[in-house]
Structure 1
Amino acid sequence: MNDTHHRFSIAPMMDWTTRDCRYFHRQLTRRALLYTEMVTTGALLHGDVARHLDYDAAEHPLALQLGGSDPGELAHSAELAERWGYAEVNLNCGCPSDRVQEGRFGACLMREPAHVAASVAAMRGATALPVTVKCRIGVDDCEDEVFLRAFVDHVAAAGCETFIVHARKAWLKGLSPKENREVPPLNYDVVYRLKQDYPQLRIVINGGIETVDDCEEHLRHVDGVMLGRAAYHRPWLLSEVDERLFGAQASTRDRHQIVHALFPYVEQRLAAGNNLPTITRHILGLFHGQPGGRQWRRVLSERACRSGAGIEVIEDALAAVSAASEFCKVA
């Protein structure tokens, strides 16, 4: 994987960054690093591996995020990641949900830096892929920078060279996962200082970043930026990424052309037995802020779930956008 890919990435988001979402995002940016949803080691050990790890080749560069705490299970899962052709394997040390706490993984692992280091070492011993870690700046009352540096010291010593840091601490009790993304205050300066103190490491910042302008500002201080909800709800901003953040040629396709480019993929997925809403729910925000954006969402939301729904629903949604746009011009 090219070292510059971490310059901009799209965060792993449960139920959102599915393969259908990632294929769509790849139509908007060729250079961004994409991440899977978090996949637990238990799902790979005891479940349908192909269902969790399969993807379209067009999604590359693509990283697999793992949730787990057993070094042996993580090593096995990292080996699977390499076997399936992923470009990176990432260990989740930032999710604060009750589910991950019960399984002793996610943000609670930040309290066990030696254990995380042992897990990273086991993963690195099982694969040639880069092993990265996504974490918070603190957990509960453990929020001083000494705590964060102790965590980074242990894990970096095990061979982790890239840390993706959500610039909020996690509250393991009292806040829901949604509240943990919004209530704890952002502190970007902590992440900036982490980069200053560890210039040899790749530090990627995450949390509350909304625009490509914001990304450019953060990149003055750190090596990379990761966007989550902003990229999902307003995906057209991804069309600016390749030119502005990577210095690559910008795509000349407009929103309508992007949708038409998805048709062969959608037909393939429908033929494989997938239903239309699982695909179209990820493209609802494509016309956000544009004339016809409401009509686009309404047609897809109301008709994609009907029995036998196919490409014609997306075509009708595009026609509704065009009609609304023409009305605005006349008005």
Structure 2
Amino acid sequence: MSLAAPIDRRLSVAPMMDWTDRHCRAFHRVLTRRTLLYTEMAVDKAILNGDTPRLIGFDAAEHPVAIQLGGSEPGDLARAARIAEDYGYAEINLNVGCPSDRVQSGRFGACLMQEPELVADCVAAMQDAVGVPVTVKCRIGVDDQEPEEALFTLVDTVAARGIASFAVHARKAWLKGLSPKENRSIPPLDYDLVRRLKAERPALEIILNGGLEDLEHAIAETATLDGAMIGRAAYHTPWILARADSAVFGESDPVATRAEALAAFRPYIAAHLRSGGRLHDITRHMLGLFAGEPGARQWRRILSEKATRSGAGLDVLDEAEAAIPSREEAA
């Protein structure tokens, strides 16, 4: 049974493959102290048999940070969860929502919506292995499943094993006929179903995910829920996170302008470069910082063209920032 103190999940950034790596999370943490951050999905067998430090290592400055695991073998997931806890993650989340072919072939991700008893066995094994909270991120159904039946069955089956927190991507996943990219936008959203789940299961923590465009949208849609998980909007327009601490958590925001954010993040970038890392490893996550602002196109162009070059350094970041008009005011 989990022993750790509860985690504040009123706002989180969703786990996103190829996007929410350690550099992305470090950047987001400059913008918000309180928002819960998630790793990319890490496959249990890769953690057990691969380069574990490279796969799941992270900086303590990223806290609060949770890891998302992929898998369907309770024993492997339990061992991977124990390793993740030893690394210092505050939460272990099981992926029951990714629709990619690679995930399906491994019998995990969204296809597990069809096997609620197996999901329950997996999370029970994980929960027995660690002291930090274990949670689930799922869809409302897959393929021809009736969403209300599929979602409630999965949640009830898993909750019966002691899991109390669920992040629900409010779309079906079509395992055949749609690509993973299409599955993020084509199946219609059903926020009302997620709200009904919370109303009928008030003791559970229900977090809404899917299609949330900004903080205002997230706050409005989750007035009767326990929190919001923002995905692509937080990645493509990260400045929305700079108001999260005040708008969601009632605390002061860490930076007032994008220039302040860049100055605060600069030591992290410099340390990465000194260790032999590439500038592009980090700046690829920063392309949307000035989205909607004068100079945004030049910012993206300079970073896209020059940060990828061998030996690219902080001068490239300086050049990109210089392309932004100096009249930016505190947001």
- Between the aligned partners of 2:95 and 2:308, the Cα distance in structure 1 is 33
Is 1:143 the counterpart of 2:152? The answer is no
Q: Which has the larger share of helix?
A: 1
Deviations 1:79-138 (A, max 9, x none): 011100000000000001101110000001111111110111100110011000000011
Is 1:194 the counterpart of 2:200? The answer is no
Task: Indicate the residue corresponding to 1:329 in structure 2.
Answer: none
Task: Indicate the residue corresponding to 1:107 in structure 2.
Answer: 110
Task: Indicate the residue corresponding to 1:159 in structure 2.
Answer: 162
Match of 1:54 among 57, 71, 76: 57
Task: Indicate the residue corresponding to 2:318 in structure 1.
Answer: 315
- Between the aligned partners of 1:26 and 1:238, the Cα distance in structure 2 is 9
Check the 8 A contact 2:85/2:132 in 1, yes or no. Answer: yes
Match of 1:221 among 224, 228, 233: 224
Is 1:91 the counterpart of 2:100? The answer is no
Identify which range, 24-33 or 245-254, moves more after superposition. Answer: 245-254
Deviations 1:23-50 (A, max 9, x none): 0000111110000000001110110000
Is 1:211 the counterpart of 2:214? The answer is yes
Amino acid at match of 2:60: A
Check the 8 A contact 1:78/1:126 in 2, yes or no. Answer: yes
Deviation at 1:53, TM superposition (A): 1.3
- Between the aligned partners of 2:300 and 2:147, the Cα distance in structure 1 is 44
- Between the aligned partners of 1:90 and 1:142, the Cα distance in structure 2 is 23
> TM-score w.r.t. structure 2 length?
0.96
Amino acid at match of 1:21: C
Task: Indicate the residue corresponding to 1:301 in structure 2.
Answer: 304
Deviation at 1:4, TM superposition (A): 5.7
Matches within 5 A, 1:164-313: 164-313=167-316
Q: Aligned to 1:142, what secondary structure does the other structure show? A: coil
- Between the aligned partners of 1:232 and 1:252, the Cα distance in structure 2 is 18
Check the 8 A contact 1:101/1:108 in 2, yes or no. Answer: yes
Check the 8 A contact 2:255/2:261 in 1, yes or no. Answer: no
Check the 8 A contact 2:207/2:225 in 1, yes or no. Answer: yes
After TM superposition, where is structure 1 displaced by more than 6 Å over at least 4 residues in a row? none
Amino acid at match of 2:151: L
- Between the aligned partners of 1:149 and 1:301, the Cα distance in structure 2 is 44
Check the 8 A contact 2:78/2:129 in 1, yes or no. Answer: yes
Q: Aligned to 1:37, what secondary structure does the other structure show? A: strand
Check the 8 A contact 1:33/1:61 in 2, yes or no. Answer: yes
Number of residue pairs matched by the alignment: 325
- Between the aligned partners of 1:303 and 1:167, the Cα distance in structure 2 is 39
Deviation at 1:252, TM superposition (A): 4.3
Check the 8 A contact 2:31/2:255 in 1, yes or no. Answer: no
Q: Aligned to 2:224, what secondary structure does the other structure show? A: coil
> TM-score w.r.t. structure 1 length?
0.96
Which sections of structure 2, spanning at least 5 residues, go unmatched? none
- Between the aligned partners of 2:24 and 2:281, the Cα distance in structure 1 is 9
- Between the aligned partners of 1:66 and 1:59, the Cα distance in structure 2 is 18
Amino acid at match of 1:138: G
Deviation at 1:205, TM superposition (A): 0.3
Match of 1:15 among 3, 18, 26: 18
Check the 8 A contact 1:12/1:38 in 2, yes or no. Answer: yes
Deviation at 1:273, TM superposition (A): 2.0
Amino acid at match of 2:240: L
Q: Aligned to 2:325, what secondary structure does the other structure show? A: helix
- Between the aligned partners of 2:313 and 2:291, the Cα distance in structure 1 is 23
Deviations 1:299-324 (A, max 9, x none): 1111111221111110111111137x
- Between the aligned partners of 2:151 and 2:35, the Cα distance in structure 1 is 27
Check the 8 A contact 1:143/1:169 in 2, yes or no. Answer: no
Q: Cα–Cα, structure 1 residues 318 and 96, in superposed 2: closer, same or farther, change >3 Å? A: same
- Between the aligned partners of 1:182 and 1:235, the Cα distance in structure 2 is 20
